[in-house]
Structure 1
Amino acid sequence: MIAAVLAQQPYPGFEAPDPAHEFNPTPIWEFTLAGIEFAITRITLINWLAVIVVLGFFIAASRKPKVVPGKLQFAGESVYGFVRGSIARDVIGPEGIKFAPYLATFFVFVFANNVMGIIPFAQVAPTAKFAIPLFLAIIVYVWYIGLGIMRQGFFTYFKNLVYIPGVPWPLHFMLIPIEIFQKLLSRPFTLAVRLFANMFAGHLLLVVFALGGIYMASQPHLTLKLLSPFSFALAIAMAFFELLVQFLQAYVFTLLAATYLQESVSDGH
């Protein structure tokens, strides 16, 4: 990232490039298909790389399973076991075991894309681009609503979703519209924004500390030059903190998906 910034930086003087440019990079390849314009960008390639890494990891981990697992098999089983036990079973219940493979896929895919934000030469998380979290949120949205309709029936499911039993009937005129907005309209948006905003903000913080170090190192004042290593040190420290955030956001996204699924399989109870 720092090398890229220095390459773009005009001299003499210091004019920092727009950090948001990394989220709207210049297309590498553009084409039209069925009248729709498509563009392959650096973020697209990073996203594809994350998919290849995830597929390669699980294929290699499950290729030759043994009773006494090797390191790779143990890592794959640990990731799946974590999602299966801590999310699928604990949130949904015993029936959640059947959803564990799907939830594990969400968790690993989101984390792999998140962690690209601190991987050298990538250093931008595709999930910091709103389109990817929104697409994932729509998948979860269609999944849990479709499952709810299949399990409970169309009218029963939506009744259980927005009707709160035990509430005085006049309050339903206020509560039902709120429940409709919260559970049917805002959920995919808030699910996507939560992931996108954290990844976007984390990347900008890293850029700020890195650019701050470059700025102070480029100034003639000795005090600023002496302070520049501290800015770089903070950028490194923030990278480790960002790794924790990336894991937590993958966990929260998967946990919320499981929570929504629990509503669909619980018959409203």
Structure 2
Amino acid sequence: MHAPILETALLHHALTLLAPFATDDGSGDGGFTGPSLVDFFPQAFLFEGTPFEINRIMMVRFIAVAVLILLFWLGTRRMRMIPGRGQSLIEMTVGFVQSNIADGALGKEEGKRYMPLLATMFFMVFAMNVTGIVPGLNISGTSVIGVPLVLAVVAYIAFIYAGIKKQGMNFFKSSLFPAGVPPLLYIVVTPIEFLSTFILRPVTLTLRLLMNMIAGHMLLVLCFSATQFFLFTAGGLFGLFSIGTLAFGLIFTIFELLVALLQAYVFTYLTGVYIQLALVEEH
């Protein structure tokens, strides 16, 4: 849960250490240029200027979804009582989502009902996250706000749907006017409940996932671009620093894999928790 704070602190510290090597004017005079937000706004290479514009990040998203569909198709096209390797892997990962997220957040009955949504969300978030450490892709599909926002909206719609389906329009009353509160206090409590329940939940879901992926990408770019600078540009004894920056880059790559999995878990589990809260008549 503290990954965003840790990554931000490490990024700030590393940028401070490497500041003497950085260029201020971006003139390309051989100085070290640290990571920037430019990576998250690449040029379009297909359908530029249209609603169907495709840039590098969109292509990464398409690749992630295509690979995910391909893996599930290969693993489930020949289902058997005694599963092969592919089927076993699919069953194990789906079982993880069911037992640790769907059943854990919603219970067995409701967990089974919302399992398709939660499983789809988990695997999509993980696939989009993990592209940040795949050579040749090197950026997460969730590092630009579009995908995290869409997934948060889906979670929000599922939350509202579950509440209305379970309680009818009384869902909004029970959410905004909690039982047992003195009537005068509703003047204060109701706006707070509205803000926290219907506004902040999708916002925090979006920002938590987005900022983790941005911070992870910046850290990896910092480490590997510093390695290239020390090894090929700085020269002399500065080349020895490349050993350290490369080692940190490899360590952070493993760390980012764990963050990719953790954020997929957190995002999906919180979606399940929000749905479960909508199913409770008084909360």
Same fold (TM over 0.5): yes
Residues 165, 61 of structure 1: alpha-carbon distance in 2 compared, 3 angstrom cutoff: same
Q: Could you tell me which residue of structure 1 aligns to residue 243 of structure 2?
A: 229
How far 1:18 sits from its partner (Å)?
5.2
Distance (whole Å) between structure 1 residues aligned to residue 224 and residue 263 of structure 2: 23
1:257 paired to 2:271 = yes
- Residue of structure 2 aligned with 1:14, choices 8, 19, 31: 31
What are the Cα deviations for residues 24-48 of structure 1, in whole angstroms up to 9, with x where unaligned?
A: 111011256xxx6331011111101
Does the C-alpha gap of structure 1 residues 173 and 16 become closer, same or farther in structure 2, counting only changes over 3 Å? same
When structure 1 is superposed on structure 2, of 55-64 and 253-262 the one drifting more is 55-64
RMSD of aligned C-alpha atoms? 1.9
Which one-letter code corresponds to 1:206 in the other structure? L
Aligned length: 256
Q: Which residue of 2 aligns with 1:213?
A: 227
- In structure 2, what is the Cα distance between the partners aligned to 1:11 and 1:83? 48
Shift of 1:12: 5.0
> 3-state SS of the aligned residue for 1:39?
coil
> Could you tell me which residue of structure 2 aligns to residue 151 of structure 1?
166
Rounded Cα–Cα distance in structure 1 between residues aligned with 2:167 and 2:268: 23
The answer for the alignment partner of 1:65 in structure 2 is 79
TM-score (norm 1): 0.89
Structure 2 residues without counterparts, runs of 5 or longer = 1-25
Q: Work out the CA distance in 2 between the residues paired with 1:162 and 1:96.
A: 25
- What does residue 109 of structure 1 align with? 124
Alignment of 1:95-106 (within 5 A): 95-106=110-121
**Whole-angstrom CA distance in 2 between matches of 1:37 and 1:261:** 33
Deviation at 1:15, TM superposition (A): 4.8
Q: Is the contact between residue 191 and residue 253 of structure 1 (CA under 8 Å) also seen in structure 2?
A: yes
Alpha-carbon displacement from aligned partner over 1:153-211 (angstroms, at most 9, x marks no partner): 12x10112222223333332212111100111121111110000000001001111112
Distance in 2 between residues matched to 1:117 and 1:103, nearest whole Å: 22
Letter paired with 1:264: A
The one-letter amino acid of 1:30's match is: F
Aligned to 1:197: 211
Is 1:185 paired with 2:160?
no
8 Å CA contact retained: 2:174, 2:282 = yes
Q: Distance in 2 between matches of 1:37 and 1:77?
A: 38
Supply the AA of the counterpart residue of 1:21.
Answer: V
Quote the offset at 1:10 in angstroms. 7.6
Q: Name which of structure 1's ranges 138-147 and 208-217 shifts more when overlaid on structure 2.
A: 208-217
What is the aligned partner in structure 2 of residue 40 from structure 1?
54
Change in CA separation of 1:173 and 1:229 when aligned onto 2, cut-off 3 Å: same
Task: Write the deviation string for residues 215-258 of structure 1: whole angstroms up to 9, x where unpaired.
Answer: 22221441x21111110110011000010000000000000110
Counterpart in the other structure of 1:5:
none
Contact 2:163 2:171 in 1 (8 A): yes
Call closer, same or farther: CA 1:88–1:11 in 2, change over 3 Å.
closer
Structure 1: 4+ residue segments shifted above 6 A: none
> TM-score normalized by structure 2?
0.85
Pick from 17, 27, 45: which aligns with 2:44?
27
Tell me the distance in 2 between the aligned counterparts of 1:58 and 1:73: 9
Question: CA, structure 1 residues 161+185, in 2 after alignment: closer, same or farther (shift >3 Å)?
Answer: same
Partner of 1:126: 141
One-letter amino acid of the structure 2 residue matched with residue 189 of structure 1: V
* Structure 1 counterpart of 2:66, from 32, 38, 52: 52
CA distance in 2, matches of 1:233, 1:38: 40
CA contact (8 A) 2:64 2:127 kept: yes
1:4 corresponds to which residue? none
CA displacement, residues 105-161 of structure 1 (integer Å, 9 cap, x when unaligned): 10001000000000010010010011110011111111211231122112x101122
SS of the residue 1:267 aligns to: coil
Identify the range of structure 1 (141-150 vs 164-173) with the bigger mean alpha-carbon deviation: 164-173
CA–CA separation in structure 1 for the residues paired with 2:68 and 2:282? 35
Deviation track 1:19-76 (CA, whole Å, cap 9, x = no partner) reads 32221111011256xxx63310111111011111111111121111111111110111
Q: Which 5+ residue runs of structure 1 have no aligned equivalent?
A: 1-8
